[in-house]
Amino acid sequence: PPPAPPVSRVGGVWGAEVPLWGGPVAGWGRVVVAWVGAAYGSAGGRCMAVSVAVAVGGIADRLVARLAERVPRIRVAPGMDRQAEMGPLVTRAHLDKVRGYVDAGVAEGAQLVVDGRALKVDGYEQGFFLGGCLFDHVQPGIGFSREEIFGPVLSIVGPDSFGPALR
């Protein structure tokens, strides 16, 4: 059979965020690397960070399974650590705000697949560290998914086709 078309990134409006869109894929390894970088790079604290991924056409379960393997292995450490893949958030207030969004997602019924809220970094117990958080089964209209989180939180929306995703 012919290979599945590759996933491509497009811009659009999802609340205040830029969502990541994807359809059926052949190269899962590259997809996971790209999506982890887009969501968790810079601890999710950059303007073009992705906090919502729209996994179209039945790929959500496979994508979530692969992300759930990778996200807990993101090396979280101080920014001066050359092995760090993700550093701390900028302030205690921001850490509390991002944790509040994770709490809200759980309260609103999204499935928290990877919970990074309990992460501790040895020697930096008072640091503003938060491990990657991954939500699945995020329904349209859930409030936290329409916010600019600026933290290491990725929410997966899994419509069957692009039509419902665009609505």
Question: How would you list the strands of the sheet with 52-55, edge to edge?
Answer: 20-22, 52-55, 153-157, 133-136, 111-114
Q: Work out the number of other CB atoms within 10 angstroms of the CB of residue 46.
A: 11
Sign of the C-alpha dihedral, residues 32, 132, 61, 24?
Answer: negative
Give the whole-angstrom CA distance, residue 139 versus residue 127: 33
DSSP reduced 3-state for 31? helix
Q: Which of 8, 13, 47, 123 is catalytic?
A: 47
DSSP secondary structure code for residue 86 in this structure: B
User: 43 is written with which tokens?
Assistant: 């601890």
Q: By C-alpha distance, which of 62, 61, 26, 67 is closest to 152?
A: 67
Taking only Cα atoms into account, the Rg of the chain, rounded to an integer number of angstroms, comes to 15
> Is 47 considered catalytic here?
yes
Active site members: 47
